[in-house]
Structure 1
Amino acid sequence: MGGQPITATSEVDAEDFAHILAATREYVRTVVVPREQEIADTDAIPHDIRTGLAEMGMFGYAIPQQWGGLGLDLAQDVELAMEFGYTCLAMRSLFGTNNGIAGQVLVNFGTDEQKTEWLERIASGEVVASFALTEDGAGSNPAGLTTRAVRDGGQGGDWIIDGTKRFITNAPVANLFVLFARTRPADESGTGIAVFLVPADAPGVTVGPKDRKMGQEGASTSEVSFSGVRVPASALVGGDEDAGYRAAMTSLARGRVHIAAVAVGSAMRALDESLAYAATTTQGGTAVGGFQLVQAMLAEQQVGVMAGQALVREVAAKYVSGEDRRIAPSVAKLYCTEMAGKVADLAVQIHGGTGYMRGVAVERIYRDIRLLRLYEGTSEIQKLIIGGGLVRGWSPGAGVR
C-alpha cells in the first residue's frame, strides 16, 4: 500500500551535484538557447534536444535512484530549475511532469508494484507522464472535481472512469495519465477523491487538438476526455480511494517551489538580456545603460532576482527538512512568479520598441512567464493558503519566525 509522503533526501553528494549542475548549465546555454527561435517557429522541441536531455537524466532527476532516477532532493532541484528557466520554458515542460507533479504522486503514494511498473520508464523518458487534474470547475482547488470513477463488478473489480480534463501538460505526447477522479461525495471519512494510473492508449481515452497558447511555444497542452475508460483495481494509486486529494496537494506544494525557481531563472535571463542591450545600444550617441532611469530599472531587476534566489533556496531547504511544506512553498510561488513578471516587463521597457518585436528574447520571455502565475495554483490561491495558514497557526505569544 502507498504510505505517507517520504522525506525526500538527496542521493547525490555536493561534489557530484556540482558536476550535474555545471553540465545542465552548459547544455542549456550552448545547445538550447541558440535554438530558441527554431523551437518557437516549429512549436516543438527538436528530437536531438529531447534525446540529449534524456541521456543527461533530466526525465528522472527527482526520482529516487532505486527507480532509475538521479535521486536529487528539492534543494538541488531548484538549482537545476533556475537553469531550466533561463531558456524557453517549453524545454522544462517536456520533462517537468515526470519529475514533478505526476512522478511525485507515484514516488510518494504508489504501491511497490506500481512503482516497479512505471517509475523506471518515467525516469528514462521512455514514458511521459501527465498530471490530469484540472477541469472546467476544478483547477487550483481539486475539491470541485466532477470526473467520476465507479467500481464495476463489486469489491476488487475494475474501475470505469468518465470525465474531461483541460489544459493537461504533455497530453498530446503522454503515455500515462495520472488521473484524479471522484469515487463518491466527500464525507466524514474522506474527500472521495482518488488517483488512477491510466495508459494513454486505453480504450475511451481521447486527446483533443493541441492548445494554441499565448506563449511557451513547444510546450504541448490539450483537453483529454475519458469515456467509459476501464482500468483494473491495480490502477488505483496506493490502493486508497481517498489518497487523491492528499497526493494532489503534496505534489502541488513541491511543484510550487520548483516553479518559483523556474521563474527566478527566467528573471535572470531577462536581466542578462537587459544588461546586454543597455551596454551595447546607443541613443543619441550615449549607451542606453548610461541613463539613470535605465539604471534604476536594472537595479529593480537585480533586487528581484537576488531576493528570488535567496527565497527559493530557503524554502527548498525547509521543504527537504520537513519544517514547512505548505505556507513557504506558496510564499515562494507567489513572490517569484510575480517578481519575474515585473522583471520581464522592465526588460521590454529597457529595450523600447525593439522589446515588442517577435524574435527578440525579452518579448518571448514576457509571454512565456505569464503562465507561471496561473498553474500550480494561481497567485490568488497562494494568498489564500498563506493567509489562512497564518491565521490557523496563530497562538498567543507566538510571533513570526
Structure 2
Amino acid sequence: MKRKVFTDEHDAFRQMVRGFLEKNVVPNFEKWEEQGAPPREFYNEVGELGILGIQIPQEYGGSGEQTYKYSAVLTEETLRAKLGLGSLRVHMDIVLPYLLKYATAEQKQRWLPGAASGDLITAIAMTEPGTGSDLAGISSTATRDGDTYVLNGSKTFITGGVNADLMLVVARTAPVDPDNRRAGLSILVVETSSPGFGVVRTLSKLGMKAQDTVELYFDNVRVPAANLLGEEGRAFDYLGHNLAQERLSIAVGSQAAAVAALNETTTYVKDRNVFGRPLSSMQNTKFILAECATEIEAGQMLVDRALDDHDQGELSAVDAAKVKLFCTELQGRVVDKCLQLFGGYGYMLEYPIARLYADARVTRIYGGTSEIMKTIISKSLGL
C-alpha cells in the first residue's frame, strides 16, 4: 500500500540521510560496535547537516520544524541500513522535547545551540538498579544547599552515557510521601564534567553494540539550581508528557527493522540454492515471507496513522502503548522467522540478520515493557 504520511520535503531529507549513512556510517559501523559507541565527532557531522537541530527553533541554530516526521525518516533510514544508533535517537527523540517544553529562555540559550550543532550531546538518567519500570521508586536524592543541589545516587541502563555532555537526571528533591510516591521528583540537567559524576562501567549487551549503555554514580555532585528543569517536584508529570513520542519512536524503529529483515531475507532466499533449487521456490519459504509481508503492512499503517496523530497532538498514551506493543512484538516475530530461513548462516554475526535478531529483543523491554503496555491498554478498557 502506498504510504501517504510523508511530503516531498521529507523524501528529499530521506535521500540526504541515506547518502550520509552509506558514506559515513556503514563503512565504520563494525568498528563502532567494537568500540561500544560512535566517535564524538560523529555528532558534529550530523549537526553540520542540520539533522540534530531539525526541531530546534531557528533562533537557537535549528530549522524550527514542528513535525516529528523528520526524526521518523532518520530512524527508518538508519534501520534500512541495518544500523543501531540509539544514542542519537535518545538525544533527538527523548531528551530534546523536555528541553523545548520545560527549559527557560535562559536555559534554552545555554543548551539548544550546542544540541543543534553536536557540541552538546544529551542523555537522560531515570532507571535505577532497584527500580526498573517503577519510576516512583527512584531513590537518588538532590538536596538543596544554597544556590545548588547536592546530588547522590546511581543509575543504570543509561543510553548515550559515554558521549553525553549534559545528563537529565531524575532525582528525589523531597522525602517520599507514602500516599503519593510520585511526588517530590525533579529533573536536574547535570554537566557530566562535574566533580563527583562518574561512569561506573559500560555495560556489555546482547545487541545494540554501538549504543553506549552505562551505569552512572553521583557522589555529592553539585548542580546549580539554575539547572533545574521546570518546577521542583513535577518530574513525574513531565516524564508523562513525552512518553507518547518515546514509544512512537521505538515503534518506528521496530517497524523499520522488520522491513529490513524482510528485504534482507527476500534477497537471500532468491540467491540461496537448497536441494538443487532456489530456496525462494519452496512453498514454505513463500508462505513464511507472505505472512511477514502482511503483518508488516498492518504495522506500517498503524505507525503512519500514529505519526499523523502525533503531529496533530492527538496521539494519546494509550494509543502510543498500542503502537509500541504491536510493532515491537511484530518485530520479534518477523526477525525470528527470517533468521530461520537463513539456516545456520543466520546465526553467524557476519550476516546482518543476526544483528537484527540480537537488537530486536530489547525493544519489548525499554521504553516500557510489553507487560506495562498491556497494563496501560487494559486500564483504558476499564479492567
Check conservation: 1:146, 1:182, Cα contact below 8 A: yes
Amino acid at match of 1:358: L
> For this pair of structures, how many residues does the alignment match?
375
Distance 2:43 2:144 in 1: 39
Structure 1 window deviating more from structure 2 (216-225 vs 66-75): it is 66-75
Give the match's secondary structure for 2:381: helix
Q: TM-score, normalised by structure 2?
A: 0.91
1:127-138 residue pairs with structure 2 within 5 A? 127-138=120-131
Distance 2:172 2:258 in 1: 39
Cα gap change, 1:261 to 1:127, in 2 (>3 Å): same
Instruction: Name the % identity.
Output: 32
Check conservation: 2:71, 2:93, Cα contact below 8 A: no
Give CA deviations for 1:282-305 in whole Å, capped at 9, x if unaligned. Answer: 112211011111111111221222
Give the match's secondary structure for 1:173: coil
Note if 1:324 corresponds to 2:300. no
Amino acid at match of 1:159: Y
Note if 1:201 corresponds to 2:193. yes
Amino acid at match of 1:365: L
Say which of 299, 303, 325 aligns to 1:334: 325
Note if 1:166 corresponds to 2:159. no
Give the match's secondary structure for 1:345: helix
Note if 1:22 corresponds to 2:12. no
Quote the residue 1:176 is aligned against: 166
Deviation at 1:250, TM superposition (A): 1.8
Distance 2:71 2:255 in 1: 13
Quote the residue 1:305 is aligned against: 296
Deviation at 1:140, TM superposition (A): 2.6
1:1-400 residue pairs with structure 2 within 5 A? 14-29=7-22, 31-45=24-38, 50-70=43-63, 71-91=65-85, 93-153=86-146, 157-184=147-174, 185-186=176-177, 191-238=183-230, 240-391=231-382
Distance 1:250 1:37 in 2: 36
Gapped regions of structure 2 (runs ≥ 5): 1-5
Distance 2:160 2:150 in 1: 23
Structure 1 window deviating more from structure 2 (331-340 vs 97-106): it is 97-106
Deviation at 1:50, TM superposition (A): 4.5
Distance 1:25 1:141 in 2: 38
Distance 2:188 2:257 in 1: 34
Distance 2:127 2:83 in 1: 20
Quote the residue 1:395 is aligned against: none
Distance 1:265 1:30 in 2: 20
Distance 1:264 1:188 in 2: 37
Distance 1:390 1:267 in 2: 29
Distance 1:15 1:276 in 2: 28
Amino acid at match of 1:308: G
Tell me the C-alpha RMSD between the 2 structures: 2.2
Check conservation: 2:168, 2:187, Cα contact below 8 A: yes
Distance 2:324 2:303 in 1: 9
Quote the residue 1:397 is aligned against: none
Distance 1:175 1:111 in 2: 19
Deviation at 1:36, TM superposition (A): 4.0
Give the match's secondary structure for 1:228: strand
Distance 2:227 2:39 in 1: 33
Give the match's secondary structure for 1:376: coil
Amino acid at match of 1:86: R
Distance 2:41 2:122 in 1: 20
Distance 1:49 1:192 in 2: 37
Give the match's secondary structure for 1:171: coil
Give the match's secondary structure for 1:358: coil
Cα gap change, 1:197 to 1:44, in 2 (>3 Å): closer
Check conservation: 1:177, 1:199, Cα contact below 8 A: yes
Amino acid at match of 1:373: R
Deviation at 1:264, TM superposition (A): 1.1
Check conservation: 1:334, 1:382, Cα contact below 8 A: yes
Check conservation: 2:254, 2:360, Cα contact below 8 A: yes
Distance 2:122 2:41 in 1: 20
Distance 2:29 2:148 in 1: 45
Distance 2:269 2:109 in 1: 53
Amino acid at match of 2:151: I
Gapped regions of structure 1 (runs ≥ 5): 1-12, 393-401
Cα gap change, 1:188 to 1:122, in 2 (>3 Å): same
Give CA deviations for 1:277-334 in whole Å, capped at 9, x if unaligned. Answer: 1111111221101111111111122122212221111112212212233111111111
